[in-house]
Structure 1
Amino acid sequence: MKKRFLTAFLLASTLAFTQTAKFKIKYSEQLAVLIFLENLSENYPENVYKTEFIKSSYNTEKYKNLISEFDKLSFGYSYRFEEFPYGSKKSVQTEDLSKKNLIETENLTEFKIRSIGIIPNKTLNDLAEIISEFTPIYKELIYNPNKEKFEKQLQEIIKYSDENHIENYFETGLRFYNSSWDNSVPFVAAFYPLPNSKGFTAQSFCNNFISAVQTDLKSYKDLFSVMLHETYHIIYDEQSLKVKTEINNYFKANKSKCSNYAYLLMNEVLATALGNGYVYAALDGKIDSRDWYYKKYINLMAKQIYPLVKEYIDQKKSIDQNFIDNYIKSYEVNFPNWINELDNIMTYRYVISENENDLKVINKMFRYRSKTEYENKITENSIEKMQQTPLTKVIVISKNSNEILKLLKHKFSELKNWKPNGDKEFADKILLNDKSQLILLNQKKSTIESLINSIK
């Protein structure tokens, strides 16, 4: 259990976005322990949590077995909002809902009651039991050694929010995105300590923002610009079906060959331009001269479109067709080759391959991915499903080449004059009428990696 005086203090510390909507900052021990467990997983790279655990007296078979059991728990299910244009609204993730319920309940019994039906009961009970087992370990190894620093930081974070009227930036986002928010629903930000670290992590979902905070953090400009960046993803996601459909139609009506990939990039670009650009400049008094995002495509496009974003904010205007057309033009004029760069277009991919190892290779080659779909059979049905998406389409042919190539020529009108030799290896890239790239790999002896690298 977290200290009651801290909980009471934090729950009482709120900021009003409007007269009724609230912005809450708190520490959630239950969430922190879940994050701790995730970082102890064998699938995670080396990190401070793992280091502290390995050198502790808890590094025993009992607890290592519990970590293995945690790794096996499957509580990540999802479902889409089918009526919205593809990719315009985030799918519901049961893992996010589980984290939300950990944040918003005070004990594991409440968490289980609220979470029944989201994931299987056996999984839910096992998850709660493992969190319970690791709570005293987390407190001893991570929280208590950093307790004084972290609790002081939380008070400073709340004070910083109050003094800088962070709620105003939320309202700015609502207006710019032409979105809405139910004022009776609080926006809850949950922080947890991250000792011996130079950076911090952040994630948003539902009405929540979560972030680790390095215990020696002194300046909060970066933290709040990232927090608002993540908040803008939620505001974008909450646009109405009408607004989402209008924006989707603006992109489809635009004649630029870059419009599809500009659209796929837009969510992250706008959140970066607003959060890391506009909010940071407002908090610091000047534009951040550093990179705004670690991925070059997002960083460069966000900086390119920033003047237009600021113009709309200053004029209290919402995204409209003029904004979309200028956004696409900016992409096409300044970065015309991006639609051919694999590091960019493979961020959004739909892969069909009958060899499961191909998917592993592609994931290793292109670790950064935003939207991905996979199929393990090349059939008329799987091709039709692929064609319903705006994603980069990758089809790996490793057997029955001539038969499959005949099927592909039938299904893709753009291939009617294409004359491949199914008996020879090749790697082709074709821009389709929906302005997505189709990548065809006919594999004989070469590795998938070498075939992909041969694409010009």
Structure 2
Amino acid sequence: MKSVFLIPLLFLTIFAFGQKPNLKIKYSEQLAVFVFIQNLSENHSENVFKTAFQKSKYNTDEYRNKISKFDKLAIDYSYPFEEFPYGSKIPMQTRDVLKKNLIETDHLIDFKLRSIGIVPIKTLNDLTELISEFTPIYNELIYDPNKEKFEKQVIEITDYANDHQIEEYFQTGLSFYHSSWDQSIPFQIAFYPLPDSDYFTAQAFCNNFVSAIQTNLKDYKDLLSVMMHEIFHIIYNEQSLELKIEIDQSFKENKSKCSNYAYQLLNELLATALGNGYVYEKLEGKLDQNDWYYHQYIDLMARKIYPLVKEYITEKKSMDKNFIDRYIKLYETNFPNWINELDNIMTYRYVISENENDFNIINQLFRYRSGAEYETQITERSIEKMQKTPLTKVIIVSKNNIEKLKLIKSKFKELTNWKFNSDQDFTYKILLSDKSQLIIINTRKKDLKTLIQSIK
């Protein structure tokens, strides 16, 4: 068996009586191999892992069939936390739990024992076998050529995190969000190398942060501020049910017509203001002059709300109704028309269409999405299900037009006086009482893309 250099775990200093979170940094070979196989999929975009594999001696029918087998493994199951307000808590994803178990175990046998019951045993055995088969390939193509640089990087990141007491920002997040964390549960941080790249990746789930880091990375403030950004999502997610309900009510009771879309932006916005704003400023000594986030609405609003966030942190206050009301006022005052801009409101969408290709067109037009649901039947039940969400509501009618349009009109009180011609192509947009936009698209001769682009 190939010997593997294990990166020493990072045990960050804790407050007396164990009050400060315990963050651990490690390299997880098992996770790295899982991600490696995942990136080899035909459905995955071009990337450094796929390029290295395609140029190698392993690019054969035998291994391509194994990659195809991996793609077909049923490892994605989900369940929502239905007692929480819609969208306020991330649904549980079995893929994330499996990755968590890969990080927290050092042997595939232990991984399999810990993961029994998450997916069917046949699926789990197949997954374990594939990870085992691709481990030497991953090491030969990716890890070993970059081993020296990567292991040096992880030691440097560990030192940097210790020197800058990065765990204190975890505590800052707990205080600001008025959230909770069991201090006996460490937060596991797993890195793996990303050669021939000029960027790093970042993802957080459960009690884990995962990042592929480019092998030429020298400055770690960006990495650690983005790491904390992702961790702040977890802290927000762990707010109590009672607090989630209070926050939800505060947004719904606010009189501003912008309150719903301000709420949709909240999670990503706060993580950006805290991680890319506050943490970066602490590490660098000044705010980042580059984009804080690649989506303009989050980037612009994060900068507007940053003084308020910093005020609350400085005064050791947790987000409350006053914070929410001031945030909504900032949104409404600075960007009043955002609730009409498709690039913004289509980030949070619920689409009903009886033509499944319509979903592909919408995904192509609006690639960035924070929350999306799709339904293939225009029925009383599907519309009622849509109405229970705060998302932008899009109904595309292409069959039995007059019948479907009459049904839609009957289900929304805001459409009582609405008049339509079912024989003509048209779009209609209206702000509903829940402050979400309803968009009705009637297609006869024109293509969907043209109709969407005509919406004002």
Task: Please state which band the TM-score falls in when normalised by the shorter chain.
Answer: over 0.9
Tell me the distance in 2 between the aligned counterparts of 1:187 and 1:141. 30
Residue 16 (structure 1) shift: 4.0
Aligned residue pairs: how many? 453
Secondary structure of the equivalent of 1:439? strand
Residue 32 (structure 1) shift: 0.3
Tell me the distance in 1 between the aligned counterparts of 2:183 and 2:170. 12
Tell me the distance in 2 between the aligned counterparts of 1:235 and 1:62. 43
Greater Cα offset, 191-200 or 401-410: 401-410
- Counterpart residue identity of residue 98, structure 2: S
Question: Could you tell me which residue of structure 1 aligns to residue 222 of structure 2?
Answer: 222
Alignment of 1:432 with 2:432, yes or no, is: yes
Residue 371 (structure 1) shift: 0.7
Question: Could you tell me which residue of structure 2 aligns to residue 247 of structure 1?
Answer: 247
Question: Could you tell me which residue of structure 1 aligns to residue 301 of structure 2?
Answer: 301
Which deviations, in whole Å up to 9, do the C-alpha atoms of 1:54-74 show, x marking residues without a partner? 111111111111111111112
Tell me the distance in 1 between the aligned counterparts of 2:3 and 2:230. 28
Alignment of 1:14 with 2:46, yes or no, is: no
Tell me the distance in 2 between the aligned counterparts of 1:262 and 1:347. 12
- Counterpart residue identity of residue 83, structure 2: E
Tell me the distance in 1 between the aligned counterparts of 2:334 and 2:219. 34
Which deviations, in whole Å up to 9, do the C-alpha atoms of 1:300-344 show, x marking residues without a partner? 000010000000000000001111011101111111111111111
Question: Could you tell me which residue of structure 2 aligns to residue 448 of structure 1?
Answer: 448
Question: Could you tell me which residue of structure 1 aligns to residue 363 of structure 2?
Answer: 363
Which deviations, in whole Å up to 9, do the C-alpha atoms of 1:99-135 show, x marking residues without a partner? 0000001111111111111112221111111111110
- Counterpart residue identity of residue 162, structure 1: N
Structure 2 length as normaliser, TM-score?
0.98
Output aligned runs, 1:137-148, within 5 Å.
Answer: 137-148=137-148
Q: Indicate if the aligned counterparts of 1:193 and 1:215 stay in contact, CA closer than 8 A.
A: yes
Tell me the distance in 2 between the aligned counterparts of 1:275 and 1:123. 37
RMSD: 1.1
Question: Could you tell me which residue of structure 2 aligns to residue 273 of structure 1?
Answer: 273
Alignment of 1:115 with 2:115, yes or no, is: yes
Tell me the distance in 1 between the aligned counterparts of 2:72 and 2:14. 40
Q: Which runs of 5+ in 2 are unaligned?
A: none
Residue 45 (structure 1) shift: 1.4
Question: Could you tell me which residue of structure 2 aligns to residue 153 of structure 1?
Answer: 153
Question: Could you tell me which residue of structure 1 aligns to residue 132 of structure 2?
Answer: 132
Q: Indicate if the aligned counterparts of 1:17 and 1:171 stay in contact, CA closer than 8 A.
A: no
Q: Indicate if the aligned counterparts of 1:17 and 1:168 stay in contact, CA closer than 8 A.
A: no
Question: Could you tell me which residue of structure 1 aligns to residue 314 of structure 2?
Answer: 314
Output aligned runs, 1:262-411, within 5 Å.
Answer: 262-411=262-411
Secondary structure of the equivalent of 1:349? strand
Moved over 6 A (4+): none
Q: Indicate if the aligned counterparts of 1:17 and 1:170 stay in contact, CA closer than 8 A.
A: no
Which deviations, in whole Å up to 9, do the C-alpha atoms of 1:170-210 show, x marking residues without a partner? 11000000001001100000000001111111000000000
Secondary structure of the equivalent of 2:418? coil
Output aligned runs, 1:60-71, within 5 Å.
Answer: 60-71=60-71
The percent of aligned pairs where both chains have the same amino acid is 68
Tell me the distance in 2 between the aligned counterparts of 1:38 and 1:334. 42
Greater Cα offset, 203-212 or 423-432: 423-432
Question: Could you tell me which residue of structure 2 aligns to residue 210 of structure 1?
Answer: 210
Secondary structure of the equivalent of 1:257? coil
Secondary structure of the equivalent of 2:6? helix
Secondary structure of the equivalent of 1:193? strand
Which deviations, in whole Å up to 9, do the C-alpha atoms of 1:346-370 show, x marking residues without a partner? 1111111111111111111111111
Residue 3 (structure 1) shift: 4.7
Q: Indicate if the aligned counterparts of 1:31 and 1:103 stay in contact, CA closer than 8 A.
A: yes
Tell me the distance in 2 between the aligned counterparts of 1:16 and 1:312. 25
Question: Could you tell me which residue of structure 2 aligns to residue 191 of structure 1?
Answer: 191
Secondary structure of the equivalent of 1:390? coil
Residue 405 (structure 1) shift: 1.4
Residues 170, 208 of structure 1: alpha-carbon distance in 2 compared, 3 angstrom cutoff = same
Which deviations, in whole Å up to 9, do the C-alpha atoms of 1:57-92 show, x marking residues without a partner? 111111111111111112111111011000000000
Residue 2 (structure 1) shift: 7.6
Tell me the distance in 2 between the aligned counterparts of 1:316 and 1:188. 26
Alignment of 1:99 with 2:99, yes or no, is: yes
Q: Which runs of 5+ in 1 are unaligned?
A: none
Secondary structure of the equivalent of 1:45? coil
Tell me the distance in 2 between the aligned counterparts of 1:2 and 1:286. 46
Tell me the distance in 2 between the aligned counterparts of 1:453 and 1:246. 38
Tell me the distance in 2 between the aligned counterparts of 1:443 and 1:347. 23
Secondary structure of the equivalent of 2:197? coil
Residues 411, 16 of structure 1: alpha-carbon distance in 2 compared, 3 angstrom cutoff = farther
- Counterpart residue identity of residue 109, structure 1: I
Tell me the distance in 1 between the aligned counterparts of 2:316 and 2:88. 23
Output aligned runs, 1:59-98, within 5 Å.
Answer: 59-98=59-98
Tell me the distance in 2 between the aligned counterparts of 1:342 and 1:124. 42
Tell me the distance in 1 between the aligned counterparts of 2:384 and 2:213. 45
- Counterpart residue identity of residue 206, structure 2: C
Residues 3, 236 of structure 1: alpha-carbon distance in 2 compared, 3 angstrom cutoff = farther
Tell me the distance in 2 between the aligned counterparts of 1:101 and 1:234. 17
Question: Could you tell me which residue of structure 2 aligns to residue 170 of structure 1?
Answer: 170
- Counterpart residue identity of residue 451, structure 1: L
Secondary structure of the equivalent of 1:15? coil
Question: Could you tell me which residue of structure 2 aligns to residue 234 of structure 1?
Answer: 234
